Structure 1
Amino acid sequence: MGIQDIIQGKKQWRAHMARVKALPPDYQIVYKELQKYIFKVGPVDLVDGNLLSDIIDFFEEGVAADKGVLELLGNDVAAFCDDLMKDSRTYADIYQESIIGKPGTTGK
Protein backbone atom coordinates (compact mmCIF):
# COMPACT_ATOMS: atom_id res chain seq x y z
CA MET A 1 0.00 0.00 0.00
CA GLY A 2 1.54 3.26 -1.13
CA ILE A 3 1.17 6.81 0.07
CA GLN A 4 -1.37 7.60 -2.66
CA ASP A 5 -3.53 4.68 -1.53
CA ILE A 6 -3.46 5.94 2.05
CA ILE A 7 -4.34 9.47 0.98
CA GLN A 8 -7.18 8.21 -1.23
CA GLY A 9 -8.48 6.03 1.60
CA LYS A 10 -8.50 8.99 3.99
CA LYS A 11 -10.39 11.10 1.45
CA GLN A 12 -12.98 8.37 1.04
CA TRP A 13 -13.33 7.94 4.80
CA ARG A 14 -13.76 11.70 5.33
CA ALA A 15 -16.45 11.81 2.62
CA HIS A 16 -18.12 8.83 4.26
CA MET A 17 -18.11 10.51 7.68
CA ALA A 18 -19.43 13.75 6.14
CA ARG A 19 -22.48 11.77 5.00
CA VAL A 20 -22.92 10.47 8.54
CA LYS A 21 -22.72 13.99 9.97
CA ALA A 22 -25.44 15.12 7.55
CA LEU A 23 -27.89 12.64 9.13
CA PRO A 24 -30.21 13.66 11.99
CA PRO A 25 -28.69 13.23 15.49
CA ASP A 26 -30.60 10.03 16.35
CA TYR A 27 -29.44 8.41 13.12
CA GLN A 28 -25.86 9.47 13.84
CA ILE A 29 -25.94 7.87 17.29
CA VAL A 30 -27.31 4.60 15.96
CA TYR A 31 -24.85 4.61 13.04
CA LYS A 32 -21.91 5.02 15.41
CA GLU A 33 -23.17 2.11 17.51
CA LEU A 34 -23.60 -0.01 14.37
CA GLN A 35 -20.10 0.93 13.28
CA LYS A 36 -18.62 -0.04 16.67
CA TYR A 37 -20.41 -3.37 16.60
CA ILE A 38 -19.35 -4.11 13.03
CA PHE A 39 -15.72 -3.19 13.74
CA LYS A 40 -15.77 -5.38 16.84
CA VAL A 41 -17.24 -8.42 15.10
CA GLY A 42 -14.94 -7.81 12.15
CA PRO A 43 -16.19 -9.04 8.81
CA VAL A 44 -13.09 -9.93 6.83
CA ASP A 45 -14.30 -8.18 3.68
CA LEU A 46 -15.28 -4.93 5.44
CA VAL A 47 -12.50 -2.96 3.74
CA ASP A 48 -13.39 -4.22 0.27
CA GLY A 49 -17.16 -4.21 0.76
CA ASN A 50 -19.82 -1.54 0.80
CA LEU A 51 -21.50 -2.49 4.06
CA LEU A 52 -21.06 0.85 5.83
CA SER A 53 -21.98 2.87 2.72
CA ASP A 54 -25.05 0.71 2.23
CA ILE A 55 -26.13 1.44 5.81
CA ILE A 56 -25.81 5.18 5.18
CA ASP A 57 -27.83 4.81 1.95
CA PHE A 58 -30.50 2.95 3.93
CA PHE A 59 -30.50 5.66 6.61
CA GLU A 60 -30.74 8.44 4.03
CA GLU A 61 -33.78 6.73 2.52
CA GLY A 62 -35.32 6.50 5.99
CA VAL A 63 -34.73 10.21 6.59
CA ALA A 64 -36.29 11.02 3.21
CA ALA A 65 -39.33 8.90 4.13
CA ASP A 66 -39.53 10.77 7.47
CA LYS A 67 -39.13 7.61 9.54
CA GLY A 68 -37.40 7.28 12.89
CA VAL A 69 -34.24 5.23 12.96
CA LEU A 70 -35.75 2.58 15.24
CA GLU A 71 -38.69 2.23 12.85
CA LEU A 72 -36.16 1.10 10.24
CA LEU A 73 -34.01 -1.15 12.43
CA GLY A 74 -36.22 -2.31 15.25
CA ASN A 75 -35.21 -2.19 18.90
CA ASP A 76 -32.37 -4.73 18.67
CA VAL A 77 -29.57 -3.00 16.79
CA ALA A 78 -27.14 -5.91 17.30
CA ALA A 79 -29.63 -8.33 15.70
CA PHE A 80 -29.93 -5.95 12.75
CA CYS A 81 -26.13 -5.98 12.36
CA ASP A 82 -25.96 -9.74 12.68
CA ASP A 83 -28.55 -10.05 9.94
CA LEU A 84 -26.50 -7.74 7.69
CA MET A 85 -23.35 -9.78 8.25
CA LYS A 86 -24.88 -13.26 8.26
CA ASP A 87 -23.21 -14.22 4.98
CA SER A 88 -19.90 -12.50 5.75
CA ARG A 89 -16.88 -14.34 7.02
CA THR A 90 -15.57 -12.82 10.26
CA TYR A 91 -12.25 -12.93 12.07
CA ALA A 92 -14.01 -14.95 14.77
CA ASP A 93 -14.83 -17.58 12.12
CA ILE A 94 -11.18 -17.74 11.09
CA TYR A 95 -10.11 -18.09 14.72
CA GLN A 96 -12.62 -20.89 15.35
CA GLU A 97 -11.43 -22.71 12.24
CA SER A 98 -7.82 -22.42 13.39
CA ILE A 99 -8.66 -23.89 16.80
CA ILE A 100 -10.64 -26.76 15.34
CA GLY A 101 -7.92 -27.50 12.81
CA LYS A 102 -5.08 -27.76 15.36
CA PRO A 103 -3.77 -31.29 15.88
CA GLY A 104 -4.39 -32.80 19.29
CA THR A 105 -7.40 -30.63 20.12
CA THR A 106 -10.13 -32.87 18.73
CA GLY A 107 -11.74 -35.42 20.97
CA LYS A 108 -10.90 -33.70 24.24
Structure 2
Amino acid sequence: MSIQDIIEGKKQWRAHVARVEALPRDYRIVYKEMQKYLLKVGPVDLPDGPLLPGIVTFFEEGVAAGKGVLELIGTDVAAFCDDLVKDSPTYADLYQQSLHGEPGAAEK
Protein backbone atom coordinates (compact mmCIF):
# COMPACT_ATOMS: atom_id res chain seq x y z
CA MET A 1 0.00 0.00 0.00
CA SER A 2 1.50 3.27 -1.08
CA ILE A 3 1.21 6.68 0.53
CA GLN A 4 -1.15 7.75 -2.25
CA ASP A 5 -3.46 4.81 -1.43
CA ILE A 6 -3.49 5.82 2.23
CA ILE A 7 -4.23 9.45 1.38
CA GLU A 8 -7.01 8.46 -1.01
CA GLY A 9 -8.48 6.13 1.59
CA LYS A 10 -8.53 8.92 4.16
CA LYS A 11 -10.22 11.27 1.69
CA GLN A 12 -12.89 8.69 0.98
CA TRP A 13 -13.44 8.05 4.69
CA ARG A 14 -13.73 11.77 5.45
CA ALA A 15 -16.27 12.16 2.65
CA HIS A 16 -18.20 9.20 4.09
CA VAL A 17 -18.18 10.72 7.59
CA ALA A 18 -19.38 14.05 6.15
CA ARG A 19 -22.33 12.25 4.53
CA VAL A 20 -23.18 10.60 7.85
CA GLU A 21 -22.97 13.93 9.71
CA ALA A 22 -25.36 15.48 7.17
CA LEU A 23 -28.08 12.98 8.13
CA PRO A 24 -30.78 13.92 10.67
CA ARG A 25 -29.93 13.16 14.29
CA ASP A 26 -32.02 9.97 14.60
CA TYR A 27 -30.45 8.55 11.45
CA ARG A 28 -26.95 9.35 12.73
CA ILE A 29 -27.63 7.62 16.03
CA VAL A 30 -28.90 4.47 14.33
CA TYR A 31 -26.05 4.52 11.78
CA LYS A 32 -23.44 4.73 14.54
CA GLU A 33 -25.07 1.84 16.42
CA MET A 34 -25.13 -0.19 13.21
CA GLN A 35 -21.49 0.66 12.55
CA LYS A 36 -20.47 -0.47 16.06
CA TYR A 37 -22.41 -3.70 15.68
CA LEU A 38 -21.02 -4.43 12.22
CA LEU A 39 -17.45 -3.73 13.33
CA LYS A 40 -17.87 -6.41 16.01
CA VAL A 41 -19.61 -9.12 14.00
CA GLY A 42 -19.72 -7.80 10.48
CA PRO A 43 -18.20 -9.04 7.28
CA VAL A 44 -14.47 -9.39 6.91
CA ASP A 45 -14.46 -6.90 4.02
CA LEU A 46 -16.36 -4.20 5.94
CA PRO A 47 -13.62 -1.53 5.91
CA ASP A 48 -13.11 -1.74 2.14
CA GLY A 49 -16.52 -3.00 1.05
CA PRO A 50 -19.66 -1.25 -0.13
CA LEU A 51 -21.79 -1.98 2.94
CA LEU A 52 -21.30 1.19 5.02
CA PRO A 53 -21.59 3.59 2.06
CA GLY A 54 -24.64 1.62 0.92
CA ILE A 55 -26.29 2.11 4.31
CA VAL A 56 -25.68 5.86 4.10
CA THR A 57 -27.18 5.96 0.61
CA PHE A 58 -30.19 3.97 1.85
CA PHE A 59 -30.61 6.43 4.73
CA GLU A 60 -30.26 9.46 2.44
CA GLU A 61 -33.04 8.05 0.26
CA GLY A 62 -35.18 7.51 3.37
CA VAL A 63 -34.65 11.12 4.43
CA ALA A 64 -35.56 12.33 0.95
CA ALA A 65 -38.76 10.25 1.09
CA GLY A 66 -39.63 11.78 4.46
CA LYS A 67 -39.49 8.48 6.35
CA GLY A 68 -38.26 7.92 9.87
CA VAL A 69 -35.25 5.67 10.32
CA LEU A 70 -37.25 3.02 12.18
CA GLU A 71 -39.73 2.90 9.29
CA LEU A 72 -36.82 1.84 7.09
CA ILE A 73 -35.07 -0.72 9.26
CA GLY A 74 -37.56 -1.69 11.96
CA THR A 75 -36.98 -1.62 15.71
CA ASP A 76 -34.36 -4.39 15.87
CA VAL A 77 -31.14 -2.88 14.56
CA ALA A 78 -29.11 -6.04 15.16
CA ALA A 79 -31.56 -8.19 13.19
CA PHE A 80 -31.45 -5.70 10.31
CA CYS A 81 -27.62 -5.81 10.34
CA ASP A 82 -27.59 -9.60 10.54
CA ASP A 83 -29.83 -9.75 7.50
CA LEU A 84 -27.46 -7.45 5.60
CA VAL A 85 -24.46 -9.70 6.22
CA LYS A 86 -26.14 -13.11 6.23
CA ASP A 87 -24.27 -14.35 3.14
CA SER A 88 -20.90 -12.76 3.96
CA PRO A 89 -18.11 -14.40 5.93
CA THR A 90 -17.85 -12.57 9.25
CA TYR A 91 -15.20 -12.31 11.93
CA ALA A 92 -17.52 -14.32 14.16
CA ASP A 93 -17.53 -17.12 11.55
CA LEU A 94 -13.73 -17.08 11.38
CA TYR A 95 -13.53 -17.18 15.16
CA GLN A 96 -15.93 -20.14 15.34
CA GLN A 97 -13.89 -21.96 12.70
CA SER A 98 -10.70 -21.38 14.65
CA LEU A 99 -12.31 -22.71 17.86
CA HIS A 100 -13.43 -25.88 16.14
CA GLY A 101 -10.04 -26.39 14.53
CA GLU A 102 -11.40 -26.57 11.01
CA PRO A 103 -8.70 -27.04 8.35
CA GLY A 104 -7.45 -23.78 6.94
CA ALA A 105 -8.85 -21.67 9.79
CA ALA A 106 -5.41 -20.61 10.98
CA GLU A 107 -4.51 -19.42 7.49
CA LYS A 108 -7.36 -16.90 7.29
1:22 aligned partner: 22
1:80 maps to amino acid: F
How many residues end up aligned between the 2 structures? Answer: 103
2:78 aligned partner: 78
Distance 1:97-1:64 versus aligned 2 partners, 3 A rule: same
Residues in 2 aligned to 1:33 and 1:99: alpha-carbon distance in whole angstroms: 28
CA deviation map 1:11-33 (0-9, x unaligned): 00000011001111110111111
Confirm or deny that 1:66 pairs with 2:66.
yes
Supply the RMSD in Å over aligned alpha carbons: 1.4
Q: Which moved more, 1:39-48 or 1:12-21?
A: 39-48
Distance 1:62-1:102 versus aligned 2 partners, 3 A rule: closer
CA deviation map 1:36-94 (0-9, x unaligned): 11111131111331000110111011001100000111110110000001011011111
Name the larger-Rg structure. 1
Please say if residues 42 and 85 of structure 2, whose CA atoms lie closer than 8 Å, have aligned partners that are also in contact. Answer: no
2:68 maps to amino acid: G
Residues in 1 aligned to 2:60 and 2:81: alpha-carbon distance in whole angstroms: 17
1:57 aligned partner: 57
Give structure 2 stretches of 5+ with no counterpart: 104-108
Residues in 1 aligned to 2:102 and 2:54: alpha-carbon distance in whole angstroms: 37
2:42 aligned partner: 42
Aligned-residue identity in percent: 76
Give structure 1 stretches of 5+ with no counterpart: 104-108
1:73 maps to amino acid: I
Residues in 2 aligned to 1:63 and 1:90: alpha-carbon distance in whole angstroms: 29
